[in-house]
Amino acid sequence: MKKRHIIIGAGNAGLSAASTIARLKPEDEIEIISHEPWLPYCRCLLTYYLEGVITKKRLFSWGEEIIRKNRLNYRQNERVINVDRKNLTIECENRRQASADTILIATGGKPQKPDFPGADLPGIFTLRTFTDALAIEKKMRPGGRWAVAGAGLVSLKTIAALRRHNIKVDLFATSKRILSQVLDPYAAGLAAARLTENQVVINLNEDIVAAALAADNQLKLTTSHGRELLVDGLLYGKGVNATSPFGNENISRDDWGADQSSAPQPWQNAQDGIPVNSQLELDQNLFVAGDTAKIFDLVRRKNDRLPLWPLAGEQGLIAGYNMAEGTSHLAHHYPGGISCNAFSLFGLDFISAGYREIPNNENDWHFIEEKKGGSYSRLNFHRNQLKGFILCDSGNINSGHTNSDNLKKAGPLLARIKREALVVQ
Ligand SMILES: Cc1cc2nc3c(=O)[nH]c(=O)nc-3n(C[C@H](O)[C@H](O)[C@H](O)COP(=O)(O)OP(=O)(O)OC[C@H]3O[C@@H](n4cnc5c(N)ncnc54)[C@H](O)[C@@H]3O)c2cc1C
């Protein structure tokens, strides 16, 4: 029987689900909705667009091809404000209502916004969408000066773009080191040294606490150390919350019964993400995938958000199968994800996954480490089971391939972590 599917979100999770349904059930109707005024694009490439190393055409070609090839009914610039979980209907800001046999919530994430005095001033940016990238691009001027608050991956990729335009950068982090989520202290030290060599000023244990307008469209920033600096712009990169339709942060599959499910929910942030079962269902025929889903972390063995591009695609695929074929007879299960990051900082490349550090106060852990010239590898084991690694070298992973023997180990190591996580409990 022909079915109708609504997919809210046109990121990797939404598009992966849509193309899976289109392939399995070409006769089904698929509507995919995005509140952004653009065709879908590859969000991960936004900083490379700002850097000038890829064109706008390349940024968009991925999404355009998926929409065209699968003949999807794509509705851009439309914001969904309610999902009725029992009746499987949605309501949009423009008052359009629609119903479906299955719905996927793939609404991704929202950057945390600053809340210090002056946080709303022009010149203060977050980077999540192409609209954000255009605003940042407009403000960038060669020879200018920017501040970046937060030392995670999006911040550091944006710094590479700013430096490419010969813009001076001051990086502020409240933590004791940069990239604390994805590197251990030694690897973070290598990364910091590479940034310093490239004229990035790193200020640790220091934050921006206020902003005010200054002459010539500049901003005067005040730091937690009482220092002041004049900049053209501030990129605020302090993490991303889930974008979800359910206001209750503690919502869980067990919490919500048939009675509550009929009540329309306000569309709010639930920072922790929406919990799902292994079929990626919140309730029958209502699925969640990608950055907004709380899924099983195979390595840490707990439910969590793992906001990563490849994992959003994997989950979209599983959700797509289950939306097309139903979950009552032959459901597809998502075993869980492993956090893994590959990135390059001014020619120094890193790939890390799982536990980057050994947890404090836990027994039965050991590690194997090798430091040779500028290259570094560290493998972390728990009861002889590989739980995580960090590899670092100058291997040019941005070109899509690497000559570094060290970095080439990443694929087999990741496969081993996954294999052992699935087999050994
Ligand atoms: C600059 C940058 C660089 C990154 N680099 C990497 C990287 O190198 N590696 C990596 O693994 N990950 C990276 N990420 C993270 C990666 O982009 C995300 O993990 C991935 O995009 C998540 O996909 P998604 O489909 O879950 O959500 P998203 O890509 O966020 O898509 C969400 C979709 O939902 C829509 N939407 C949201 N709310 C509504 C609503 N109410 N109504 C209608 N539509 C709505 C949005 O318009 C959008 O289409 C990066 C992210 C950024 C911003």
352 Cβ inside 6 Å of ligand 1: no
Question: In this predicted model, what pLDDT tens digit does every residue of 183-210 receive, in sequence order?
Answer: 999 999 999 999 999 999 999 999 999 9
Q: pLDDT grade, residue 243 (50/70/90)?
A: confident
Per-position b or e across 263-294, b if 16+ CB within 10 A of its CB: ebbebebbbbbbbbbebbbbbebbbbbbbbbb
**Residue range(s) occupied by CATH 3.50.50.60 in the chain:** 4-111+241-325, 124-238
Percent of the chain with pLDDT over 90: 81
Pick the CATH number of 340-423 from 3.40.50.1370, 3.90.850.10, 3.30.390.30, 3.30.2270.10: 3.30.390.30
**Residue range(s) occupied by CATH 3.30.390.30 in the chain:** 340-423
Question: In this predicted model, what pLDDT tens digit does every residue of 281-333 receive, in sequence order?
Answer: 998 999 999 999 999 999 999 999 999 999 999 999 999 999 999 987 788 99
Nearest to 400 by CA among 54, 165, 66: 54
Token pair for residue 10?
Answer: 């046109």
Please identify, in words, the CATH class of the domain defined by 124-238: alpha beta
Kindly report the average pLDDT of the chain as a whole number: 90
Q: pLDDT grade, residue 394 (50/70/90)?
A: confident
pTM of the model: 0.93
Is the pLDDT at 128 greater than 60? The verdict is yes
Distance (Å) from CA 27 to ligand 1 centroid: 28
Q: Please identify, by atom number, the ligand 1 atom nearest to the C-alpha of residue 307.
A: 19
Minimum mean pLDDT among 3-7, 352-356, 369-373: which range?
369-373
Distance (Å) from CA 66 to ligand 1 centroid: 16
Q: What was the pLDDT predicted at 272?
A: 75
In CATH, what number does 4-111+241-325 get?
A: 3.50.50.60
> How many other C-beta atoms can be found within 10 angstroms of the C-beta atom of residue 37?
11
Distance (Å) from CA 128 to ligand 1 centroid: 7
Q: pLDDT grade, residue 401 (50/70/90)?
A: low
Token pair for residue 58?
Answer: 């390349």
Distance (Å) from CA 199 to ligand 1 centroid: 30
**The residue type at 73:** N
DSSP code per residue over 47-81: HHHHHTSS-HHHHHHHHHHHHHHTT-EEE-S--EE
> How many other C-beta atoms can be found within 10 angstroms of the C-beta atom of residue 89?
16
Q: What was the pLDDT predicted at 269?
A: 39
Is the pLDDT at 396 greater than 60? The verdict is no
265 Cβ inside 6 Å of ligand 1: no
21 Cβ inside 6 Å of ligand 1: no
Nearest to 321 by CA among 309, 330, 312, 311: 330
14 Cβ inside 6 Å of ligand 1: yes
106 Cβ inside 6 Å of ligand 1: yes
Q: What was the pLDDT predicted at 266?
A: 36
Q: What was the pLDDT predicted at 398?
A: 56
Question: In this predicted model, what pLDDT tens digit does every residue of 252-275 receive, in sequence order?
Answer: 443 333 333 333 343 333 567 888
Q: pLDDT grade, residue 403 (50/70/90)?
A: low
Tell the residue number behind the tokens 């289109």, with chain if given.
Answer: 22
62 Cβ inside 6 Å of ligand 1: no
Is the pLDDT at 176 greater than 60? The verdict is yes
Distance, in Å, from the CA atom of 200 to the CA atom of 221, rounded to the nearest integer, reads: 17
Question: In this predicted model, what pLDDT tens digit does every residue of 46-92 receive, in sequence order?
Answer: 999 999 999 999 999 999 999 999 989 999 999 998 888 889 999 99
Residue nearest to atom 2 of ligand 1 (CA): 44
Question: In this predicted model, what pLDDT tens digit does every residue of 337-370 receive, in sequence order?
Answer: 999 999 999 999 999 999 999 999 889 999 999 9
Distance (Å) from CA 12 to ligand 1 centroid: 7
Distance (Å) from CA 1 to ligand 1 centroid: 32
Q: What was the pLDDT predicted at 107?
A: 95
Is the pLDDT at 405 greater than 90? The verdict is no
Residue nearest to atom 19 of ligand 1 (CA): 308
Radius of gyration of the chain (CA): 22
